[in-house]
Amino acid sequence: MTWTTPPKMPESGQPASPLVELDHAAIQTGFSWDTARTELAGLPDGGLNIAFEAVDRWVAAGFGERIALRWLGKNSERREFSYADLARLSNRFAHLLDRLGVTPGERVCLLAGRIPELYISALGTLKAGAVFCPLFSAFGPEPVRVRLVKSQARVLVTTTRLYERKVRAQRHELSDLRHILLTDGGDESGLLPFHALLAAESDERNPPVTRPDDMALLHFTSGTTGTPKGAVHVHDAVVAHRLTGRLALDVRPGDIYWCTADPGWVTGVSYGIIAPLVIGATLVVDEAEFDARRWYAILEQERVNVWYTAPTAIRMLMKVGAAALQGRDLGALRFMASVGEPLNPEAVIWSRKVLGQPFHDTWWQTETGAIMIANTPGLAIRPGSMGQPLPGIEAAIVRRRADGGVDVLEPDEQGELALRVGWPSLFRDYLGDPDRYRQCFAGDWYLSGDLARCDAEGYFWFVGRADDVIKTAGHLIGPFEVESALLEHPAVAEAGMIGKPDEFAGQIIKAFVALKPGYEPGDALRKELLGFARTRLGPAVAPRELEFMADLPKTRSGKIMRRLLRARELGLPLGDLSTLEGEAPSGPVGMVAE
Ligand code: ATP
Ligand code: MG
- Report the C-alpha gap between 199 and 93 in whole angstroms: 10
Atom 28 of ligand 1 has which residue's CA nearest to it? 342
Q: Is 559 in the pocket of ligand 1 (CB under 6 A)?
A: yes
Three-class DSSP category at 142: helix
Surrounding ion ligand 2 within 5 Å at CB are 221
Which ligand approaches the C-alpha of residue 340 most closely? 1
Atom 12 of ligand 1 has which residue's CA nearest to it? 222
Distance from residue 46's CA to the centre of ligand 1 (Å): 33
Atom 16 of ligand 1 has which residue's CA nearest to it? 340
| Element spanning 42, H or E | none
Q: Whole-prediction pTM value?
A: 0.89
| pLDDT attached to residue 1 | 26
Cβ neighbors of 509 (< 8 A, separation 6 or more) are 470, 472, 477, 482, 497, 498, 499, 500, 541, 542, 543, 544, 545
| pLDDT attached to residue 491 | 96
- Report the C-alpha gap between 563 and 466 in whole angstroms: 12
Which ligand approaches the C-alpha of residue 228 most closely? 1
- Report the C-alpha gap between 377 and 247 in whole angstroms: 8
Strands 179-182 and 282-286 come out as: unpaired
- Report the C-alpha gap between 89 and 91 in whole angstroms: 5
Quote the DSSP letter at residue 519. Answer: -
Write down the CATH number for the domain with range 470-593: 3.30.300.30
Closest Cα partner for 558 from 291, 74, 224? Answer: 224
Which ligand approaches the C-alpha of residue 337 most closely? 1
- Report the C-alpha gap between 136 and 158 in whole angstroms: 11
- Report the C-alpha gap between 224 and 559 in whole angstroms: 7
Closest Cα partner for 478 from 494, 455, 496, 492? Answer: 496
Phi, then psi, of 428 in degrees rounded to 5: -110, -10
Q: Is 462 in the pocket of ligand 1 (CB under 6 A)?
A: yes
Burial class (CB in 10 A: 0-12, 13-18, 19+), 507: middle
- Report the C-alpha gap between 212 and 226 in whole angstroms: 31
| pLDDT attached to residue 23 | 52
CB 284 within 8 A of CB 304: yes
Distance from residue 566's CA to the centre of ligand 2 (Å): 18
Phi, then psi, of 139 in degrees rounded to 5: -60, 145
* Ligand 1 atom with minimal separation from the 594 CA: 11
Q: Is 342 in the pocket of ligand 1 (CB under 6 A)?
A: yes
- Report the C-alpha gap between 134 and 152 in whole angstroms: 13
Q: Which of 341, 453, 454, 467 to mutate to test the pocket of ligand 1 (most atoms within 8 A of CB)?
A: 341
Atom 29 of ligand 1 has which residue's CA nearest to it? 342
| pLDDT attached to residue 259 | 98
Q: Which of 139, 150, 219, 222 to mutate to test the pocket of ligand 1 (most atoms within 8 A of CB)?
A: 222
Label residues 347-368 b or e (16+ Cβ within 10 Å = b). bbebbeeebeebbbbbbbbbbb
Phi, then psi, of 122 in degrees rounded to 5: -60, -50
| pLDDT attached to residue 27 | 59
Cβ neighbors of 62 (< 8 A, separation 6 or more) are none
| pLDDT attached to residue 582 | 66
Residues (pLDDT < 50) of the chain are 1-22, 583-594
- Report the C-alpha gap between 552 and 560 in whole angstroms: 7
Angle between helices 345-354 and 311-320 (to 10 degrees): 50
| pLDDT attached to residue 28 | 63
Write down the CATH number for the domain with range 24-452: 3.40.50.12780
Cα–Cα distances in angstroms (integers) from residue 362 to residues 310, 314, 558, 564, in the given order:
10, 14, 16, 25
Q: Residue ranges of the domains in the chain? A: 24-452, 470-593
Q: Is 558 in the pocket of ligand 1 (CB under 6 A)?
A: no
Which ligand approaches the C-alpha of residue 364 most closely? 1
- Report the C-alpha gap between 146 and 357 in whole angstroms: 42
Angle between helices 83-99 and 116-127 (to 10 degrees): 60
**HSE (CB half, 13 Å, CA atoms) of 163?**
21
* Ligand 1 atom with minimal separation from the 265 CA: 11
Strands 282-286 and 306-309 come out as: unpaired
Cα–Cα distances in angstroms (integers) from residue 29 to residues 32, 442, 568, in the given order:
9, 28, 50
Atom 15 of ligand 1 has which residue's CA nearest to it? 365
Which ligand approaches the C-alpha of residue 338 most closely? 1
Distance from residue 469's CA to the centre of ligand 1 (Å): 14
Closest Cα partner for 456 from 392, 382, 391? Answer: 382
Distance from residue 40's CA to the centre of ligand 1 (Å): 29
- Report the C-alpha gap between 358 and 371 in whole angstroms: 18
Closest Cα partner for 310 from 324, 322, 295? Answer: 295
Q: Is 386 in the pocket of ligand 1 (CB under 6 A)?
A: yes
Q: Which of 217, 270, 348, 365 to mutate to test the pocket of ligand 1 (most atoms within 8 A of CB)?
A: 365
Distance from residue 368's CA to the centre of ligand 2 (Å): 10
Q: Is 363 in the pocket of ligand 1 (CB under 6 A)?
A: yes
